Amino acid sequence: MSSPITTESEYGAFRFPDPRDPDPRQHRIQRALEIIPGSLSWTVVSGILLASWLAPIAAAVFVILYDIYWLFLTAYVTLFSTLSYRDLRRGMRTNWWERLVRSHEVERYRTELIDRGEYLRRMLREERMTLRQRRLVRRERREVLRHVRELTELSARKDEIMDHREIIHAVLLPTAGEDADIIEPAIRSIAESTFPKSQIIVILATEEREPESTRLPKVETLRKKFDGVFRDFIVTTHEVAEGELKCKASNAAYAAKKLRTYLDEHGILYDRVIFSNFDCDTVAHPEYFSALAYSYVTDPDRLRRAYQPLPMYHNNLWDTNAFVRVTVTGSSFWHMYQGTRREMVTFSSHSEPFDTLVRVGYWPVNMISEDSVIYWKAFSYFHGDYKVKLIPLPVSLDAVLADTYVKTLGNAYKQNRRWAYGIENFPVMMRAFWPDKKMPFFHKLRVTEEILEGHLSWATAPLILSFLGWLPLFLGGAAFNESVLAHNLPVVTRTLMTLSMGGLITLVFLSFLMLPKRPKRYGRWRTVFMFAQWFLAPFVALLMATPALDAQTRILTKHYFGEFWVTAKVRRK
């Protein structure tokens, strides 16, 4: 088991590249790397435009090959999103608190489950049951046997299992102006957790730039409602220092340092603390903190792990407009798919060992995308031996919603642009990884390819599939339009895109299975609209590509964001 950090010298040993490094050589390297993502995206877009005019045959062949690639990618994402949904349903049926409590008596628990599995097998053989009863018994038996296999593995290393009674959850809720009404459901969800509240610390991280006239009453209201519920309720007030951006990362780093002081004063070891960096509207599943603690205490490499629930934008999904619903539902499915891959990166609300946070020096205070950069920072610290572990439970967040339809669309654009601005991680990642001789070469190569391909596809794929792919027919000239390839291009493209729609239909079906209960203020027609909204998917894809290209272009042209754009939170009464 890794020992916690206790000295400032150990904390200060790790250095992560600074995106605003004053050293001229490092600045030139940073700038050269910043140019790459935006240049790639604009090269693809302009290359197809020019090729459609100057070399239409080559452009048409490229479009067909890209459509085939997209068909296989759609099938792949759909398959693994479906598997992730299955794991999500299984995770929501699991009694994680029971698993956590009994993690210290693995062998006895395993014996009891073996007996339970045998009893269920006899039931299936001997008793008369309806088809539904038989299906439920079979499902329970499969889950019992799966847990038995897990306990068999745990029994071989039972001495490495940490005592769950020593675990402290520290939950950060940063706020930069949100009302108490927005934050209260998030804190209430923590209070309703199955994990003991005596082992939970809530940190409300406010910003000094928020007027006292709104900040202080909000803090006081929340203090009164949750006084004495948790082990402690800490309020921090971050003041932007020189060299910092007005961003969530600088607020989170400030709050984490305050927590460190608190832990030192109370004699709490850092490796006993799991730090959850949530959005202030994050409503956690009741079993989340128990499941998180179970994953942490049973993993001998716990300090080399980040922990990610599945983000669902269900808090106000019925209230926002169709464009936003399709966008955020698509985002949830993408994270469900990512949860099945080893390349998963932390996003939005997530958790990590506090010991690891201290080791890596918290979040960079001059970068916008705090949720992913902390993963890459730890990945660099451990020379690539660091990964995200999925917690198969949902957390619910707010979808974009404003006072008017147009303003909602504008805010959705800004939120997607902020997400896409995560490409700012690429230059500092490359500066951290490639000089590292301890990190395997193929780790570096894989990460470089993954982040470039992901952001390139984000910015260009919808444009290619919806618009650029047809340009050879308009710009190729008379000679090309009379060719066999020109006549077959629309047929082939339409056929491949129609086949790809099979994946969309599957995801639409899954989205209805995950849909939260319809509020009483809406009639059944609202459900019909929830289905009809998916016809907007091609247009939504184009709207998602534009902010991605916008974000990359800003970095390409040195029009950096000066502060973190906070998504306005609105709830229908």
- Reported confidence tier of residue 12, pLDDT bands at 50, 70, 90: low
Bridge pairing between strands 168-174 and 200-207: parallel
Does residue 4 register a pLDDT over 70?
Answer: no
Residue 296 forms part of a structural domain: no
Q: Residue 332: which of 492, 79, 507 has the closest Cα?
A: 507
Residues with Cβ within 8 Å of residue 467, at least 6 apart in sequence: 542
Question: DSSP class of residue 246?
Answer: B
- Reported confidence tier of residue 353, pLDDT bands at 50, 70, 90: very high
H/E element holding 261? helix 248-265
Q: What pLDDT is recorded for position 573?
A: 64
Q: What pLDDT is recorded for position 303?
A: 95
Residue 326 forms part of a structural domain: no
Instruction: Return the ∠ at Cα 81 (arms to 77 and 87), rounded to 5°.
Output: 150
Lowest mean pLDDT among 13-27, 108-122, 328-342: 328-342
Rounded CA-CA distance 284/282 in Å is 6
What are the C-alpha distances in Å from 450 to residues 13, 444, 457, 479? 29, 10, 11, 39
Q: pLDDT tens digit string along 145-178? A: 999 999 999 988 888 999 999 999 999 999 988 9
Residue 40 forms part of a structural domain: no
- Reported confidence tier of residue 65, pLDDT bands at 50, 70, 90: very high
Separation of CA 424 from chain center: 17
Q: What pLDDT is recorded for position 129?
A: 83
For the chain, what is the domain count? 1
Token representation of residue 360: 């890596």
- Reported confidence tier of residue 1, pLDDT bands at 50, 70, 90: very low
**Phi, psi of 208, deg, nearest 5:** -65, -25
Residue 117 forms part of a structural domain: yes
| Domain assignment of residue 98, given as a range | 94-160
CB 326 within 8 A of CB 410: no
Q: pLDDT tens digit string along 170-179? A: 999 999 889 9
Q: Residue 373: which of 382, 381, 364 has the closest Cα?
A: 364
- Reported confidence tier of residue 10, pLDDT bands at 50, 70, 90: low
Q: pLDDT tens digit string along 257-268? A: 999 999 999 999
Global pTM exceeds 0.75:
yes
Q: Residue 107: which of 148, 166, 165, 160 has the closest Cα?
A: 148
Q: pLDDT tens digit string along 203-239? A: 999 999 999 999 999 999 999 999 899 999 999 999 9
Does residue 30 register a pLDDT over 70?
Answer: yes
Residue 437 forms part of a structural domain: no
Residue 306 forms part of a structural domain: no
Identify the sign of the CA torsion 330, 190, 96, 5: positive
Residue 106 forms part of a structural domain: yes
Rounded CA-CA distance 541/552 in Å is 17
Q: What pLDDT is recorded for position 507?
A: 86
Q: Residue 420: which of 377, 455, 371, 370 has the closest Cα?
A: 455
Identify the sign of the CA torsion 240, 241, 246, 248: negative
Residue 55 forms part of a structural domain: no
Q: What pLDDT is recorded for position 530?
A: 87
Other Cβ atoms less than 10 A from the Cβ of 364: the count is 27
Rounded CA-CA distance 186/188 in Å is 5
Instruction: Return the ∠ at Cα 214 (arms to 209 and 218), rounded to 5°.
Output: 110
Residues with Cβ within 8 Å of residue 160, at least 6 apart in sequence: 1, 300
Q: pLDDT tens digit string along 371-430? A: 899 999 999 999 999 999 999 999 999 999 988 888 999 999 999 999 999 999 999 999
Give the percent of the chain with pLDDT over 70. Answer: 98
Q: What is the dihedral of CA 18, 24, 27, 32, to 10 degrees?
A: -150
What are the C-alpha distances in Å from 483 to residues 264, 433, 486, 489, 493? 76, 49, 5, 10, 16
Q: pLDDT tens digit string along 77-96? A: 899 999 999 999 999 999 99
- Reported confidence tier of residue 124, pLDDT bands at 50, 70, 90: confident
Does residue 7 register a pLDDT over 70?
Answer: no
H/E element holding 259? helix 248-265
Other Cβ atoms less than 10 A from the Cβ of 263: the count is 20
Rounded CA-CA distance 174/47 in Å is 43
Q: pLDDT tens digit string along 37-54? A: 999 999 999 999 999 999
Separation of CA 228 from chain center: 32
Question: DSSP class of residue 163?
Answer: P
Does residue 354 register a pLDDT over 60?
Answer: yes
Residues with Cβ within 8 Å of residue 277, at least 6 apart in sequence: 172, 174, 252, 349, 350, 351, 352, 370, 371, 374
Rounded CA-CA distance 6/154 in Å is 30
